[in-house]
Amino acid sequence: EDRRMKDEFYPRLDKEKLFEDGYIAEESGHSRGSTVDLTLVELPVKPQRPYLPGEPLTPCIAPAEERFPDNSVDMGTGFDCFDTLSHTDNPQVPGEAKANRQLLKNTLESVGLENYPNEWWHYTLANEPFPDTYFDFPVARDSLDD
């Protein structure tokens, strides 16, 4: 029932449809160690300001200058945006954002990763070593600080 982030991450979808429409999976390649979500940033990377709890949310489908400043190049939508506009080859995405998506896609495909067409940021190793295994292990906070 929690819809606090709807306005930003799935403004045009019903939460109940996120699994059915393929935006969220019951089992994810991320837990196989073969799938990553990533974007492009300009170097040197500019610091990203933190989200301030309570600040107004902006739809992930809004123009880049209106969305939360995540320091990535314009990809046409925000990261983790559940919308048809996030489909990698969506023809409605304007020039520079479309070119950025194609740069990401062509570069990663050239090194053996495959794009999930509904999410421009989602890539899986084509010849993954554990295609049917979903690892379940705890991640300790201390190990992330190293």
List per-residue pLDDT tens for the chain, 146 residues long. 777 777 777 777 778 887 788 777 777 777 778 899 999 999 999 888 898 888 888 999 999 999 988 889 999 999 899 999 999 999 999 999 999 999 999 999 999 999 999 999 999 999 988 888 877 767 666 544 54
Q: Are the C-beta atoms of 82 and 13 separated by less than 8 Å?
A: yes
**3-class secondary structure, 35:** strand
State the pLDDT at residue 40.
96
- For residue 114, list its beta bridge partners: 124
**Residue positions annotated with a catalytic role:** 119
Q: Are the C-beta atoms of 140 and 45 separated by less than 8 Å?
A: no
**CA triple 104-72-26, angle to 5 deg:** 70
Please, how many CA atoms are within 13 Å of residue 55, restricted to the half-sphere of its CB?
A: 10
CA distance 81 to 11: 9
Q: Are the C-beta atoms of 124 and 98 separated by less than 8 Å?
A: no
CA distance 55 to 23: 25
State the pLDDT at residue 128.
87
State the pLDDT at residue 140.
64
CA distance 41 to 23: 24
CA distance 146 to 6: 33
State the pLDDT at residue 146.
47
Scanning 19-120, the segments in alpha helix (DSSP H) are 95-109
